[in-house]
């Protein structure tokens, strides 16, 4: 006998369910980001940073451990330290992309951040840049660059099939870029932190530019120090 599928919630019930799911995803993303930055911080500090009750932090940490996203180990002074597993890093990237692309303010925020980024770059004498990653963010960056009189020399993306993206040449590596450039702008949405670290190791942190909403600022400041 075939089972009759349960009807999906609609109206106010559906909105409440989606709202609850979005809030859970926000908490998990915030938790994974915090653990990625400093896994030795206390649960009380995590609760303050995320703006939720201490008991909820404990519950979400246990859930992340059970899902294999986070591992825990004992440290001195009867405390615990948490760190992300490879699965945890992948989930953080997935949730980041989901958060950014589902946000109604994505275009507005991305445009504001790119303009601020390029205007700040110009004051530092930066006028020619390479984008790291073909994405919706890259498309917005290209538009904003024209407005700010910044030249996009190329887009580096090893996974891209097209030779151009919104009129800009696409190369598989930085080595393939034949024109000189002053800085790299991170426009990957997935694994942005990984691409930032890779570019930083090659060119130095002062030559890597990142829109604020990618949430890499804290990590960058810590590395520069």
Which CATH number is 97's domain given?
Answer: 1.10.10.10
One domain, residues 86 and 114: no
CATH number, domain at 172?
3.40.50.720
One domain, residues 188 and 159: yes
One domain, residues 195 and 134: yes
Query: Which residue in 31, 70, 37 sits closest to 51, CA to CA?
Result: 31
What integer best gives the mean pLDDT of the chain? 83
Supply the range of the domain harboring residue 162: 106-224
One domain, residues 33 and 18: yes
Beta partners for residue 155, in sequence order: 131, 170
Q: Decide: 82 and 39 in contact? Cβ < 8 Å.
A: yes
* Tokens (6 digits) for 12: 């106010």
Share of the chain above pLDDT 70, in %: 81
Q: What's the distance, Cα to Cα, between the start and end of the chain in Å?
A: 65
More confident residue, 144 or 6: 144
CA-based radius of gyration for the chain: 20
Give pLDDT tens digits for 67-125: 999 998 876 765 778 888 989 888 887 887 777 666 656 788 889 999 999 999 999 99
One domain, residues 117 and 90: no
Query: Which residue in 91, 45, 46, 37 sits closest to 64, CA to CA?
Result: 91
Rounded to an integer, the average pLDDT of 145-163 is: 94
Give pLDDT tens digits for 11-29: 555 555 555 666 787 788 8
Give the number of domains in the chain.
2
One domain, residues 97 and 114: no
One domain, residues 124 and 216: yes
One domain, residues 91 and 151: no
Q: How many CB atoms sit inside 10 A of residue 94's CB? A: 14
What CA–CA distance (Å, rounded) separates 208 from 224? 11
Q: Decide: 58 and 65 in contact? Cβ < 8 Å.
A: no
One domain, residues 142 and 194: yes
Give pLDDT tens digits for 164-196: 999 999 999 999 999 999 999 999 988 888 899
Of 75, 102, 129, which residue sits at a domain end?
A: 102
- Give the H or E element holding residue 140: helix 136-147
One domain, residues 200 and 167: yes
3-class SS letters over 144-197: HHHHCCCEEEEEECCCCCCCEECCEEEECCHHHCCCCCCEEEECCCCCHHHHHH
What CA–CA distance (Å, rounded) separates 162 from 62? 43
Q: Decide: 209 and 119 in contact? Cβ < 8 Å.
A: no
What CA–CA distance (Å, rounded) separates 169 from 223? 31
Residue 3 lies in a domain: no
Of 45, 73, 102, which residue sits at a domain end?
A: 102
Whether pTM > 0.75 for this model: the answer is no
Please report the pLDDT score of residue 220 as a whole number: 43
Dihedral over Cα of 203, 206, 209, 214: its sign: positive
One domain, residues 133 and 215: yes
One domain, residues 126 and 73: no
């Amino acid at each position: 006998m075939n089972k009759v599928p349960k009807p999906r919630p609609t109206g106010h019930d559906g909105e409440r369910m989606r709202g609850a799911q979005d809030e859970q995803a926000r908490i998990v993303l915030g938790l994974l980001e915090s653990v990625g930055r400093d896994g030795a911080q206390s649960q009380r500090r995590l609760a303050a940073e995320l703006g939720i009750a201490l008991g909820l932090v404990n519950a979400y940490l246990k859930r992340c451990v059970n899902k294999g996203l986070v591992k825990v180990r004992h440290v001195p002074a009867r405390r615990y330290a948490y760190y992300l597993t490879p699965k945890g890093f992948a989930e953080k990237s997935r949730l980041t992309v989901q958060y950014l692309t589902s946000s109604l303010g994505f275009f507005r925020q991305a445009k504001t951040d790119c303009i601020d980024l390029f205007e700040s770059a110009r004051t530092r004498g930066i006028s020619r840049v390479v984008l790291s990653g073909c994405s919706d963010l890259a498309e917005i960056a290209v538009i904003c660059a024209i407005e700010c009189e910044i030249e996009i020399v190329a887009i580096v993306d090893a996974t891209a099939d097209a030779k151009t993206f919104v009129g800009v040449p696409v190369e598989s590596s930085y080595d393939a870029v034949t024109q000189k450039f002053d800085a790299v702008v991170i426009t990957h949405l997935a694994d942005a932190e990984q691409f930032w670290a890779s570019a930083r190791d090659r060119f130095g942190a002062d030559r890597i530019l990142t829109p604020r909403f990618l949430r890499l600022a804290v990590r960058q400041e810590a590395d520069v120090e």
